[in-house]
Chain A
C-alpha cells in the first residue's frame, strides 16, 4: 500500500534476478549464481519520481530491465496498476508495454545509425498500429515537444550532439504516451551544461504529461534534483529508501553516508571543511555475497550481529526505510517506535535495531 492509500502505479515485491554462472567442458553445469537483484520491494506512485542510486554492479540496471521484463525475473512480482506483469504471456504483455518505456544511458549506442530521425521516433507508433498518415504529424509534434525542429526529421543520428540524441531518445519513449518511463542514467554521458538542459526538459515533461519516472543514477548529486523518493541499492539489495530531501540531511544507512561523503563538492572551502566518511575497499563479488548485512565488510560501524543477521528494512518517521542494525542520525525515541517494514527481504532476520 502506498502512503496516501491509493494504489501505487508500480508495486514491486520480493523481486529476484539471478544469473547462472556456467562451467564445464562438454556440458555446462551451473556452478553458482550472480545475485544481481536479491529480493527488492518498493512502490512507485503515479506522477512521482523514484531515484535509484548505486555503484556499478549493484544491480540497478538489471532491476530496471526486469521491471520491463526485458529479462525474465527469477522470482517475485511486479504489479503495474494492480496487474501482475511478471507472469503475463508475451501477447498479454504487449498492450502494457505501451505504458512503460525506457530511455538509455548511451545516446550513441541506443539509436540505429542507419535510420533517419523520423523513422526512429516513428518506429514505436508503427509497431503499435498507428495509421500511416498520422505518424508524420505525431513525430513532428514529438520532436517539437523535446526541443528539436522539423528540419531534423530527415537527418541521421551521427549528425547530432549527445544532448540532442538524448532528446531523440526521449521523443521515442514518449511516442506511445506512456505512464511510466525508466531513465537509465540519462545524463551520465553528457557534458554538465547539457545535463542541466535535459534534466529541465524531463521536469517539464513530467509536469505537462503527468509522467511517472524511475531515474537510475550512479551518484547522489543528479537524483537530488529530480526525485521525490530515493532508493539506495548495494549488491542487489535496497539499503535505504527515503523522501528525497531527507536523505541528504538525515542519511540513516552508513552506506548512504559513505556515498554522500564520496561525492566531491564543487566548492573548495566547503570541501576542505567537510568531514568525510571514507569507505575502504571495493564492492564484493555478487556471486558470493557476504553473510548478514552485505555492506558489513566495508562498514565502519559493523559488529557481530551485522556479520550474522541480515537486517530487515525498518520503517522510521516519514516513510523513511533503512536496512541497518546500527542506524545513524536517529534518536533512541525514533528507534523505539520504528517497525519492521513489509518490504523487508524474506531472508532478513527479526532483530530490530536497539535503542541505545
Chain B
C-alpha cells in the first residue's frame, strides 16, 4: 500500500480519516495495525476490501495485491481504483476478512454450513456435494466438534467463540492470499480469545496467507505479530518488527501505549502512567505532529509534520515520526523508568 489518503465529507466538514499510510505485507507474515478508536486503522484495512466506498468518500494513493515482481504467474491488481466487479472477485477468494462481531457478519436466517458452501461456490466451480464436504472439512479444521452436524445449525445456536471459528472457516475456505482480521477477539472471553488466536495462527501456517491484524490490544500483538504499525490520528507514527517496537520504541505515543497498559504479570504501580488528553479530532487535526498536544516532550520543531523515516533504532526498516534526537530519546526513557519495557530485560 502506498501513500493512502481517505477522507469523508460530513456535516462537520471533511474528515481526514487516513493520511498518507504506506505498508507492505509478505506471504505468511502477521502485520499488526495498532491504534486507539479513531486512529484510522479500521478505515485503512476496510479500504483494501472496498468497504469504505461511498459517494462522500475520497481516495488517493494505491494498494497493490501482488506486485509484478511476485512472479507466480498471476497478475497484480490495484485495489483502490479497481472496479466493483473486480473487487467482488477478489473478496473472499484472495482477500478474506474476519470482523469483531461474528453475529452481525453471519446471516442469522441461513444455516452456518450453507453460508460457507455459498462462499465456496461463489469462487470455485464445485458441485453441491463437493462444496458441502469442503465446508464440513473447514469447520472440522477450525475445531468445531461434530462438524457435519453443526453445519446444519443457525448462527444463534453457536456461542461467540464458535461463531468466530465459523468465520475463520469461511475466511480460509477459498485459500486467500491475505486475511484481514479486524479486532477478531475483542468480543470474546480471555480463555476463548487464546483459543481463537491460536486457531488463526495455525490456519495461517497451513495456508501461508499474509495476515493483517487490527487491534488495540498489545497483549494480542505480542503473542502473534511479526511486525507492528502504530497508528495515531490517521497516520502511522511508528513501524517496525515486534521486538523493535516493544524493546526499542522510538515514538512518545508508543511509549505511552506501552506504559499505560494494566498488566497481569507486573506488580501494581502506585499510579498507572496515563497519556493525558484525548485523541485528536480528524476533522481538525493539530498542525505539525499529530501527537504534539498530548506529548510531554514536544518542542518547537514539532510544529512541522515529521516524515515517517528511519531515525533511531538499529534496523533501517524501523521507522517513526518523531523529531527527538536519539540522544534525547535515550535520556527520556532512562529518566521515566516506566516507558516501554525498558526495565524489563531490554538490552539497550
Q: List residues of A whose CB falls within 8 A of some B CB.
A: 55-56, 161-164, 191-197, 199-200, 203, 218-222, 224-225, 244-245, 248, 258-271, 276, 278-280, 282-283
Contacts and interface: CB of A to CB of B under 8 A. Distances in A.
B139 to A, nearest CB: 16
B276 A197 contact: yes
Given A56-B189, A225-B272, A258-B191, A265 B264 contact: yes
Contacts of B37: 162, 191
Q: Interface centre among B191, B246, B247, by most A CB within 10 Å?
A: B191
A219 B190 contact: yes
B205 interface: no
Given A195-B260, A267-B344, 16 more contacts: A55-B192, A192-B216, A192-B218, A193-B260, A200-B272, A203-B271, A220-B264, A221-B262, A224-B262, A248-B264, A248-B265, A264-B222, A266-B261, A268-B246, A278-B194, A282-B159
Given A192-B260, A270-B265, A262 B344 contact: no
24 contacts: A56-B160, A161-B279, A163-B278, A193-B260, A196-B273, A196-B274, A196-B275, A199-B272, A203-B271, A218-B190, A219-B190, A225-B268, A225-B272, A259-B190, A264-B194, A264-B219, A266-B246, A266-B261, A267-B344, A268-B222, A269-B246, A271-B222, A279-B191, A282-B159
Contacts of A195: 260, 262, 272
A253 B262 CA distance: 23
Contacts of B262: 195-196, 199, 221-222, 224-225
B334 interface: no
Contacts of A271: 222-223
Nearest to B270: A203
A136 B195 CA distance: 52
A55 to B, nearest CB: 4
B220 interface: yes
Nearest to A161: B278
User: Which secondary structure dominates chain A's binding surface?
Assistant: helix
Nearest to A219: B190
B271 A200 contact: yes
B165 to A, nearest CB: 11
Nearest to B223: A264
Interface string B266-306: 01110111111011000000000000000000000000000
Contacts of B217: 264
B257 interface: yes
Given A220-B264, A266-B219, A268-B243, A193 B190 contact: no
Interface string B328-343: 0000000000000100
Contacts of B219: 221, 263-266
Q: How large is the interface on B (under 10, 10 to 19, 20 to 34, 35 or more residues)?
A: 35 or more
B233 interface: no
Given A191-B279, A264-B219, A267-B341, A200 B191 contact: no
A192 B261 contact: yes
Contacts, number: 133
Contacts of A219: 190, 264
Contacts of A266: 218-219, 221-222, 246, 258, 261, 263
A260 B262 CA distance: 13
A199 B260 CA distance: 11
A161 B279 CA distance: 9
A159 to B, nearest CB: 12
B264 A218 contact: no
Interface in B7-40: 36-37
A195 B217 CA distance: 12
Contact of A193 (B161, B267, B274): B274
A263 B256 CA distance: 21
Nearest to B269: A225
B157 to A, nearest CB: 12
Given A55-B191, A218-B189, A225-B272, A263 B264 contact: yes
A192 B161 CA distance: 24
A164 B279 CA distance: 12
Q: Which of B197, B271, B272 has the most CB of A within 10 A?
A: B272
- Name, among A56, A244, A260, the residue most crowded by chain B CB atoms within 10 Å (CB to CB): A56
Contacts of A280: 195
A264 B160 CA distance: 19
Contacts of A194: 36, 274, 278
Nearest to A198: B274
User: Which of B219, B243, B257, B262 has the most chain A CB atoms inside 10 A of its CB?
Assistant: B262
Contact of B191 (A192, A222, A245, A259): A259
Given A264-B219, A264-B222, A196 B268 contact: no
Nearest to B185: A264
Nearest to A58: B189
A260 B263 CA distance: 11
Nearest to B219: A264
A224 B220 contact: no
